[in-house]
Structure 1
Amino acid sequence: MKILVIGPSWVGDMMMSQSLYRTLRARFPQAVIDVMAPAWCRPLLARMPEVNEAIPMPLGHGALALGERRRLGRSLRDRHYDRAYVLPGSFKSALIPFFAGIPVRTGWRGEMRYGLLNDARTLDKQAWPLMVERYVALAYDKGVMQSAKDLPQPLLWPKLQVSADECVQMRKTFGLSDERRLIGFCPGAEFGPAKRWPHYHYAALAAELIDEGYQVVLFGSAKDHDAGNEILAALTTEQQAWCRNLAGETALEQAVVLIAACDAMVTNDSGLMHVAAALERPLVALYGPSSPDFTPPLSHKARVIRLITGYHKVRKGDAAEGYHQSLIDITPQRVLEELHPLLLEQEA
Structure 2
Amino acid sequence: MKTLIIGPSWVGDMMMSQSLYRTLKAENPAVEIDVMAPAWCRPLLARMPEVNQALPMPLGHGSLAIGQRYQLGKQLRAEKYQHGIVLPNSFKSALVPFFANIPKRTGWRGEMRYGLLNDLRVLDKSAFPLMVQRYVALAYDKQKIQSALDIPQPILWPQLSVTQSEITETTHRFNLNSDRLTIGFCPGAEFGPAKRWPHYHYAELAKNLIEQGYQIALFGSAKDRQAGDDITHTLPTEMQAYCHNLAGSTELEQAVILIASCAAVISNDSGLMHIAAALNKPLIALYGPSSPDFTPPLSNDAKVIRLITGYHKVRKGDAQQGYHQSLIDIQPERVLNELNLLLASKGIK
TM-score class, shorter: over 0.9
1:97 aligns with: 97
| Amino acid aligned to 2:25 | R
CA distance in 2, matches of 1:187, 1:2: 40
| Amino acid aligned to 1:137 | A
Q: How far did residue 233 of structure 1 move?
A: 0.6
2:10 aligns with: 10
- Deviation string for 1:193-242 (max 9, x for gaps)? 00000000000000000011000000000000011001011111221111
2:135 aligns with: 135
Contact 1:20 1:139 in 2 (8 A): yes
CA distance in 1, matches of 2:311, 2:343: 31
Q: Does 1:330 align with 2:330?
A: yes
Matches within 5 A, 1:1-348: 1-347=1-347
Gaps of 5+ in 2: none
Contact 1:77 1:101 in 2 (8 A): yes
CA distance in 1, matches of 2:311, 2:52: 38
Q: How far did residue 346 of structure 1 move?
A: 2.7
- Deviation string for 1:4-24 (max 9, x for gaps)? 000000000000000000000
CA distance in 1, matches of 2:342, 2:169: 25
| Amino acid aligned to 1:101 | N
| Amino acid aligned to 2:247 | A
Contact 1:278 1:298 in 2 (8 A): yes
Contact 1:263 1:346 in 2 (8 A): no
SS of equivalent residue, structure 2 residue 180: coil
| Amino acid aligned to 2:21 | Y
CA distance in 1, matches of 2:53, 2:27: 19
SS of equivalent residue, structure 1 residue 183: strand
CA distance in 2, matches of 1:316, 1:177: 36
- Give the CA RMSD over aligned residues: 0.7
Q: How far did residue 347 of structure 1 move?
A: 2.5
| Amino acid aligned to 1:341 | L
SS of equivalent residue, structure 1 residue 241: helix
Which 10-residue stretch deviates more, 159-168 or 46-55?
159-168
CA distance in 2, matches of 1:207, 1:151: 45
CA distance in 2, matches of 1:314, 1:290: 8
CA distance in 1, matches of 2:54, 2:345: 36
Contact 1:34 1:53 in 2 (8 A): yes
Aligned length: 348
Which 10-residue stretch deviates more, 200-209 or 141-150?
141-150
SS of equivalent residue, structure 1 residue 280: coil
CA distance in 1, matches of 2:148, 2:87: 17
CA distance in 1, matches of 2:46, 2:346: 27
Q: How far did residue 48 of structure 1 move?
A: 0.3
Q: How far did residue 169 of structure 1 move?
A: 1.3
Q: Which runs of 4+ in 1 moved over 3 A?
A: none
Contact 1:191 1:314 in 2 (8 A): no
CA distance in 1, matches of 2:55, 2:313: 35
| Amino acid aligned to 2:69 | R
Q: How far did residue 182 of structure 1 move?
A: 0.6
SS of equivalent residue, structure 2 residue 185: strand
- Identical aligned residues as a percent: 71
TM-score (ref. length: structure 2): 0.99
